[in-house]
């Protein structure tokens, strides 16, 4: 558990204090009031340490232990500013990344609690000290997340247990509101990370659906549709994917009504709680990763929590399809023809292309029932998007240029960047079936992510739509600027920002 708080707006005297300084420019370090004061009290220790240490870039830290002339355990200097740039070049995202880097550094040196000294007198370009406090806290929250509920507490666990517990900011009371807001946003991201991190023996469609009930507390209306209802709705594609599993499938509808009677924005998520590939079974190596094949659904839940948590003035409906893709005697076979809720038929060539089948029914259901003004779906849909974009960006497909532009902008500013990839009739041939309305895979390895996207496009009607293929970014094998190893929570902050910037008048 990590928390942030506001304390008296003065430099503390004990413990671990974090002091921000500008990036070195013209041979000198731009100091704010706190750094100047401590440098004076320690006979120039801060300046000397900065000059002597390994050169630090933006987000870098220098640690001073037991500085003479003070009662501190440590002074941690944090560089806030772009090397060779102007302070005005600093973006909100840069400051958040510095907060994240600070949190990771503090954890690494075994600090449990620290206080950030007042930022007064520092030139942060267009960013106010109050905003900078919130941004540093946001980054720290995102980076301080840990998924350790399965560590039973032995020695090995203790070794790994050095987490940062609390970061206070010496700041005016006015900074509290911003801090609370980023705290709530971080809780939403953390909820997504928890869902994505859970193993599939714990998180399966039924238990996933139960966890969405937590949103009711925030005023989200949660409707859990059981299998009988999905049968009644004729969700033949979603049901076909789950057909080999002993678990029951669910669709969850989450509604946030903060925008009067305007048409809602619909957020749709792929929630394959485990993807073995089905009868077209995946290789053993790496299959454990498929516990996070529900990250799209997880991001939708987190985004709903974020918009409800700040009482957004917008109508947003989240719909997620929760299934498990298993091979068994009852499983769908390659070659089977299934009928989707939309009435279109699909020849299942490869049972491992299951995400698009689940989404076909959920997309159709959402546009049919809610008549949304726009639909955004998130899915760990294709390995091919990793081939194209690596782990740096998610794939963006859209039928609407304005929607694509707004999503792209939200991605850049939140550090969850996208890259647009093509749709269009030229790709229709990839999913042409000899015997049904379409088939569920493309032609070999060609344009694999687009083949998935053009399939989905057949189920959104005329509604402006965007598809985010997050297979490469939902999970990370290494530390990222704004998240540690493991679940990244990708999409939550992007969608929350998108709602804020484009749906709230």
Catalytic positions, written as ranges: 282, 356
- Told to check if 384 binds ligand BES by CB under 6 A, we report yes
Interaction of residue 275 with Zn ion, rule CB under 5 A: yes
> Does 293 sit near Zn ion (CB under 5 A)?
yes
DSSP run (H or E) holding 469: strand 465-469
Closest approach of ligand BES to the CB of residue 447, in Å: 11
> From edge to edge, which strands make up the β-sheet containing 345-347?
337-339, 345-347, 438-439
Nearer to ligand BES, 289 or 336 (CB): 289
Q: Does the protein bind ligand BES through residue 242 (CB under 6 A)?
A: no
Q: Does 380 bind ligand BES (CB under 6 A)?
A: yes
Q: How far is CA 49 from the centre of its chain?
A: 37
- Which listed range, 40-48, 164-172, 352-360, 369-377, lies at the site for Mn ion (CB under 5 A)? 352-360
Binder among 230, 272, 316, 495 for Zn ion (CB under 5 A): 272
Of 212 and 276, nearer to ligand BES (C-beta) is 276
Tell me which stretch binds ligand BES (CB under 6 A): 31-39, 41-49, 219-227, 380-388.
Answer: 380-388
Distance between CA atoms of 125 and 425, rounded to whole angstroms? 47
Report how many residues bind ligand BES under the rule CB under 6 A: 15
CA-CA distances (angstroms) from residue 52 to 26, 92, 105, 200? Answer: 16, 29, 19, 50
- Which of 194, 352, 408, 416 forms a contact with ligand BES (CB under 6 A)? 352
Q: Which helix (H) or strand (E) holds 384?
A: helix 384-389
Q: Is 353 in the site for ligand BES (CB under 6 A)?
A: yes
Nearest CA among 474, 428, 472, 469 for reference residue 449: 469
**Look-up of token digits 């990244």:** 488
Query: Whose CB is nearest to Mn ion?
Result: 352
- What residues numbered 405-444 form the site for Mn ion, per CB under 5 A? none
Q: Does 496 bind Mn ion (CB under 5 A)?
A: no
324 lines the binding site for Zn ion (CB under 5 A): no
* CB closer to Mn ion out of 99 and 249: 249
Does 275 bind Mn ion (CB under 5 A)? Our answer is yes
**What's the rounded Cα separation, in Å, for the pair 294 and 209?**
12
Q: Rounded CA gap, 454 and 431, in Å?
A: 8
**Beta carbon nearer to ligand BES, 185 or 241:** 241
> What whole-number distance in Å separates Cα of residue 419 and Cα of residue 465?
16
User: How many of the other CB atoms lie within 10 Å of CB of 388?
Assistant: 17
Q: Nearest distance from residue 496's CB to ligand BES, in Å?
A: 23
**What's the CA gap between 178 and 188, in Å, rounded?**
16
Asked if 214 contacts 191 with a C-beta cutoff of 8 angstroms, the reply is: yes
Instruction: Say if residues 20 and 120 touch (Cβ distance below 8 Å).
Output: no
Among 198, 293, 361, 377, contact with ligand BES (rule: CB under 6 A):
293
Place of tokens 């995400």: 355
Q: Looking at 226, 383, 461, 464, which residue binds ligand BES (CB under 6 A)? A: 383
The binding track of 178-197 with respect to ligand BES, each residue x by CB under 6 A or -, is: --------------------
Residue among 245, 399, 441, 483 that touches ligand BES (CB under 6 A): 441
Beta-strand runs (E) in 45-165: 61-65, 71-79, 113-116
How distant, in Å, are the alpha carbons of 261, 271, 354, 403, 492 from that of 322? 29, 4, 12, 26, 18
CB of 139 to ligand BES, least distance (A): 26
The least distance separating Zn ion from the CB of residue 354, rounded to whole angstroms, comes to: 6
Rule CB under 6 A: say whether 456 interacts with ligand BES.
no
Cα–Cα distance for residue pair 403/421, rounded to 1 Å: 14
Number of DSSP helices (H) and strands (E) in the chain, helices first = 15, 19
Residue among 278, 302, 355, 395 that touches ligand BES (CB under 6 A): 355
Residues of this chain that interact with ligand BES (CB under 6 A) are: 275, 289, 293, 350, 352-355, 380, 382-384, 441, 448, 471
Residues of this chain that interact with Mn ion (CB under 5 A) are: 275, 352, 354
């Amino acid at each position: 558990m990590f928390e942030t708080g506001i304390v008296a707006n003065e430099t503390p005297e004990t413990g671990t204090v974090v002091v921000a300084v500008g990036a070195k420019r013209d041979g000198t370090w731009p100091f704010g009031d706190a750094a100047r004061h401590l440098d004076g009290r320690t006979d120039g220790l801060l300046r000397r340490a900065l000059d002597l240490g390994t050169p630090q870039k933006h987000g870098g830290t220098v640690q001073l232990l037991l500085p003479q002339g003070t009662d501190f355990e440590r002074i941690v200097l944090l560089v806030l500013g772009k090397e060779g740039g102007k302070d005005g070049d600093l973006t909100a995202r840069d400051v958040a990344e510095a907060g994240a880097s600070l949190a990771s550094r503090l954890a690494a040196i075994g600090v449990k609690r620290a206080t950030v000294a007042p930022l007064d007198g520092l030139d942060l370009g267009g960013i106010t000290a109050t905003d900078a406090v919130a941004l540093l806290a946001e980054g720290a929250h995102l980076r301080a997340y840990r998924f350790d509920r399965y560590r039973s507490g032995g020695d090995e666990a203790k070794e790994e247990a050095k987490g940062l517990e609390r970061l206070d900011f010496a700041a005016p009371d006015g900074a509290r509101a911003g801090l609370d807001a980023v705290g709530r946003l971080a809780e939403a991201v953390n909820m997504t990370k928890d869902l994505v991190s859970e193993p599939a023996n714990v998180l399966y469609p039924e238990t996933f659906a139960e966890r969405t009930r937590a949103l009711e507390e925030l005023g989200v209306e949660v409707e859990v549709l059981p299998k009988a209802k999905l049968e009644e709705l004729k969700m033949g594609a979603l049901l076909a994917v789950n057909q080999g599993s002993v678990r029951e499938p669910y669709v969850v509808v989450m509604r946030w009504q903060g925008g009067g009677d305007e048409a809602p924005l619909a957020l749709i998520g792929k929630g394959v709680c485990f993807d073995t590939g089905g009868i077209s079974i995946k290789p053993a190596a790496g299959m454990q990763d498929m516990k996070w094949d529900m990250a799209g659904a997880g991001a939708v839940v987190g985004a709903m929590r974020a918009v409800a948590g700040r009482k957004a003035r917008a109508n947003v409906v989240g719909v997620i399809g929760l299934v498990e893709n298993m091979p068994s005697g009852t499983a769908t076979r390659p070659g089977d023809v299934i009928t989707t809720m939309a009435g279109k038929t699909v020849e299942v060539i490869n049972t491992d292309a299951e995400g698009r089948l689940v989404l076909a029914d959920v997309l159709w259901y959402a546009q049919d029932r809610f008549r949304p003004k726009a639909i955004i779906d998130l899915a760990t849909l294709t390995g091919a998007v990793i081939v194209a974009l690596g782990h740096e960006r998610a794939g963006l497909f859209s039928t609407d240029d304005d929607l694509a532009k707004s999503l792209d902008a939200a991605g850049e500013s939140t550090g969850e960047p996208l890259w647009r990839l093509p749709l269009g009739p030229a790709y229709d041939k990839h999913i042409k079936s000899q015997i049904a309305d379409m088939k569920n895979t493309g032609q070999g390895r060609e344009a694999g992510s687009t083949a998935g996207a053009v399939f989905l496009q057949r189920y959104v009607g005329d509604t402006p739509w965007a598809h985010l293929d997050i297979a490469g970014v939902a999970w990370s094998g290494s530390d990222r600027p704004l998240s540690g190893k493991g679940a990244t929570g990708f999409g939550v902050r992007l969608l929350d920002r998108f709602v804020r910037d484009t749906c709230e008048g």
